[in-house]
Amino acid sequence: MALQELTYRDALRKALADAMTENPDVVIIGEEVGRYGGAYAVTKDLIKEFGPERVIDTPISEPAIVGAAVGAALAGLRPVAELMYVDFIGMTMDQLANQAAKIRYMFGGQIGVPMVLRTQGGTGRSAGAQHSQSLEAYVMHTPGLRLAMPATVADAYHLLRQALTKPDPVVFIEHKALYTLKETVDLDAPVPEWGKVAVRRQGRDLVIVTYSRQVHYAMEAAKQLAAQGIEATVIDLRTLNPLDFDTIRTEVEKTGRAMVVSEGVMTAGVAAELSARISEECFDFLEDPVIRVAGEDIPISVSTVLETGSVPGPQLIFETAMKLMAGRVAA
């Protein structure tokens, strides 16, 4: 087992290269994924290793990219379709939500669509309202689609590798602010199985449930809370479908308090769904209402200051947790 230093981007590229080496049916389809190397350089140089027959540059047409991937999966390949931005996933909803997500059901289980849709979302690059959204709730809302959102370098590798073994479509959303995240990892070390959360920090006072970049912000907030004598459990969901609610329930029952943190908008978002489930299924154990910390219900501004202020950060998570714990702190 060898430790190596990788960025989030490197881990994704390695996952793709390893999968393509092992399985000749894995192909990459998308805009500028070949000669240019991808909008965020994840597929850089893969065309040199695997050729243009397996790393396929397409026209600028998201419906065509996803539609071609669905057809390729039905024909026996394992395509990885790349959308530059999750903001454009709405253009692909017929191909993705009406076809890929439903084909196994519509054909009585005789055939599936083993494809991965890679894309990226979130804020952090002042890319404006049409290139900065967090639209994972669209995917989570659609039965038949699996959804992975890695927060760490190791999970960027392992979750993508696992996604490429699944018999049904997986939407794989990477956070644009994490591509340069660098960690020392042992990719041979045991990892949580697909669909299981990772408890990144154990505490006795409250549980923070989150995913993607917000995991890092929650960990920063947890350090601030510890300095105030409050110990928080931080749960990294890793996959939102499947959702490991059993572990969430177990951890919430230990503390009696829960927060759900999401970069997506507050209204009808991931945080709303998870908060409702925790409230319903852990009601007898809760000391206080479940709190949502989520993005503002506004378009994301190109202004760095306004962009930063429109989504949760470590300080907001810390301050909200302090308010939640106010009764205990006073006591």
Question: How far is CA 310 from each of CA 255, 259, 298, rounded to the nearest angstrom?
Answer: 29, 18, 8
Query: How far apart are alpha carbons 171 and 262 in whole angstroms?
Result: 18
- Active-site pick, 62, 136, 174, 263: 62
- Active-site pick, 22, 49, 82, 131: 131
- In the chain, the amino acid numbered 295 is G
Structure token pair of residue 142: 């659609």
Query: How far apart are alpha carbons 296 and 263 in whole angstroms?
Result: 9
For 258, list phi and psi in degrees, rounded to 5: -145, 145
Neighbours of 1 (CB within 10 A): 6
Q: Which pairs with CB-CB distance under 8 Å and at least 24 residues apart come from 47-54? A: 49/17, 49/20, 50/20, 53/27, 54/20, 54/24, 54/26, 54/27, 54/28
> Is residue 175 flagged as an active site residue?
no
> Is residue 231 flagged as an active site residue?
no
The conformation of residue 186, written as its DSSP 8-state character, comes to -
Query: How far apart are alpha carbons 104 and 243 in whole angstroms?
Result: 20
DSSP labels, 2-20: --EEEEHHHHHHHHHHHHH
For 249, list phi and psi in degrees, rounded to 5: -60, -45
Residues assigned a catalytic role:
62, 131
